[in-house]
A and B are shown apart, each in its own frame.
Chain A
């Protein structure tokens, strides 16, 4: 916690939540994206429709799920459908407005790696892999990315391209015919990057209070471009912080509770 009364993780989650429009249909990854989406649901976007890849559609969990398929997600969903259908009939059919992703590595065009660090055949670190991300990145009308920023994660060259952003940039994604527009914003723990309209290259568009342009550059593994106008975002509102902390406290308590089987 800084002297400002909130920390960078909270600022990041609140900023990501603010990107979601009320009523949008959002395909949610687990972890940081899930926290941001559920915060939005509790604050400015009560009619946000959340879809998790476990086939839970329109879910409103009371605590954050640990896994993508916690019982909580099914119990509070509008409907629960088989996984091949959630990908074929909803995502690939173009029925998702926003895909919300995270990854281990991102490059300057918003392409993502969640597969390996090092060569694929002999990885130094084997990461979990694709899951739903490649099709989310392809088919969602737009994509939001939330990642902590460091030179190890914001890299000049991905070790593996799991999910496409703007490919090599300058319209390459559109020319390849991808149906979704691609990443609209990358929300980090320092600020927000957005693609430049001509080159598709991510550039610094907004800073969190107290963060300098130099600090963001130092946390980026390529020479980061800076937008002509960089805004400084407002700190999180008290109501946002209260909603987020209440949710996180209830979640921690739920995940630590012992399970008893009455067999």
Chain B
């Protein structure tokens, strides 16, 4: 583990063509890291996330992705992710191969990946249209004869998380809604974490969600690194921005100029937050 600037962590560990999971379920979405991947111009990534959310809408629209594994691709409570839709419906800015699951399936696939098992198991009753579209397969339980649904394990080359705190050793503490962040981290070959702050000691409760330092390749401080998502205890979800994104992202040119001004032409996430007017 090393504490290093985010630019260095991305440059060192995220390569063109990698499978990359930026996890965090609505909460703690690593926007700062996603924006740095856009700035560094990574291409042909296989992006993995339960809910692509605005961060993958931005990365897909900026041409970072060739494949997407996901289980729900909307702007929560608002509507469509317009850049994701353009990629699937019109192949713009590049064709996007999709691997689609249900939440339960992708959760099981991450959990299997975390355990080093080849597949995760769920109940099975009848094939669904998603199965016909290339989804899960079935196998028979050797003990009960029950038919079960098998979903292939997901093992990202790199999983990137945002968290509230890391200590000086690089142990990471996550508070609040965790989604499948823990499983996605344990399934990955390489884990990068951005945090709101470094502290001498975490003082975590015994059952707290802590990722030990020796699982993590790099910790980078990125204050406000989840905005417009949020970090419980630090700042709230910017619901107003999620509502505004619908308009910003609807049109290709408007989207591109917005991304230039607020991400590409900003040296780092603090500059992005200042440009957005949400921090001084």
Contact = CB atoms under 8 A, between A and B. Distances in A.
Interface of A: 30-31, 53-56, 65-71, 73-75, 80, 82-84, 87-88, 91-92, 115, 120, 122-135, 138-139, 160-162, 164, 167, 176-179, 254-263
Contact of A67 (B26, B176, B224, B278): B26
Contacts of A127: 74
Contacts of A83: 25, 50, 103, 107, 178-180
A69 B179 contact: yes
A257 to B, nearest CB: 7
Contacts of A126: 73, 80, 84-85, 88-89
Contact of A129 (B73, B104, B107): B73
B192 interface: no
B36 interface: no
A144 B45 CA distance: 39
Given A130-B100, A130-B103, A70 B178 contact: no
A71 B236 contact: yes
Interface stretch (B121-129, B156-164, B210-218): B121-129
B89 A125 contact: yes
B177 interface: yes
A25 B174 CA distance: 27
B103 A135 contact: yes
B89 A259 contact: no
Contacts of B241: 259
B232 A263 contact: no
Contacts of A71: 27, 176-177, 230, 232, 236-237
A63 B139 CA distance: 44
30 contacts: A30-B77, A54-B25, A55-B25, A66-B77, A68-B26, A68-B76, A69-B25, A69-B179, A70-B237, A71-B27, A71-B176, A71-B232, A80-B178, A115-B130, A120-B133, A128-B80, A129-B100, A130-B72, A130-B102, A130-B130, A131-B102, A131-B103, A135-B102, A162-B130, A255-B243, A258-B278, A259-B237, A261-B224, A261-B279, A263-B223
A123 B126 contact: no
B101 interface: yes
B242 interface: yes
Q: What is the predominant secondary structure among interface residues of chain B facing chain A?
A: loop
A92 B111 CA distance: 15
A131 B101 CA distance: 8
B235 A129 contact: no
B54 to A, nearest CB: 11
A164 B128 contact: yes
- Pick the most buried of B102, B227, B279: most chain A CB atoms within 10 A of its CB: B102
A200 B50 CA distance: 33
Nearest to B279: A261
A92 B122 CA distance: 8
Nearest to A158: B129
Contacts of A134: 102, 104, 128, 130
A74 B231 CA distance: 12
Contacts of A177: 125
Contacts of B273: 261, 263
B152 interface: no
B71 A130 contact: yes
A246 to B, nearest CB: 19
B126 to A, nearest CB: 4
Contact of B107 (A87, A125, A133, A258): A87
Given A134-B104, A259-B236, 19 more contacts: A53-B103, A66-B76, A67-B242, A74-B176, A82-B181, A84-B183, A92-B123, A115-B129, A115-B130, A125-B85, A130-B72, A130-B103, A131-B102, A132-B72, A135-B102, A164-B128, A260-B235, A261-B279, A263-B224
B71 A131 contact: yes
